């Protein structure tokens, strides 16, 4: 939460404030939602809140394939992306298909600006 001002008031608005001349290709990655052994003030889900900020793209992968493909897409994206991970899924093993292990995917082309 310490970087919230920079995310919402700087990164998200750079393209708009520069009349489309300056993009802000950055990925903010972090845990999100409920977590084991923490109090209520550490268990909020920020996806909807960030999603309401114009200029931000919000990603919340479920499994390892989603995380790999969406992170690649986020890194390639010219706009700021919030990458929220479900902390309860840390350490969970997921199967990976041959297509994912060969490097397929990784595009956010269908996202609206």
Q: pLDDT digits over 31-72, tens only?
A: 888 777 777 677 788 899 999 999 999 999 988 888 889 999
Q: Is residue 112 part of a domain?
A: no
51 lies in which domain range? 3-102
Q: How many domains does the chain have?
A: 1
Q: Is residue 108 part of a domain?
A: no
Q: What CATH number does the domain containing 76 carry?
A: 3.40.50.970
If we measure between CA atoms, which residue out of 79, 85, 74 comes closest to residue 11? 79
Strands 57-59 and 81-86: parallel
Q: pLDDT digits over 64-90, tens only?
A: 888 889 999 999 999 999 999 988 788
Q: Is residue 32 part of a domain?
A: yes
CB 65 within 8 A of CB 100: yes
Q: What is the pTM of this model?
A: 0.79
């Amino acid at each position: 939460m310490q970087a919230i001002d920079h995310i919402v008031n700087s990164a998200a608005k750079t393209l708009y404030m520069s009349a489309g001349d300056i993009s802000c290709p950055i990925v903010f990655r972090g845990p999100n939602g409920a977590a084991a052994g923490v109090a209520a003030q550490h268990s909020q889900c920020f996806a909807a809140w960030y999603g309401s900020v114009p200029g931000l793209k919000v990603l919340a992968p479920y499994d390892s394939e989603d995380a790999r493909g969406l992170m690649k897409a986020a890194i390639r994206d010219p706009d700021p992306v919030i990458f929220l991970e479900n902390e309860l899924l840390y350490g969970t093993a997921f199967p990976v298909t041959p297509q994912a292990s060969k490097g397929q995917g990784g595009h956010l082309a269908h996202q609206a600006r």
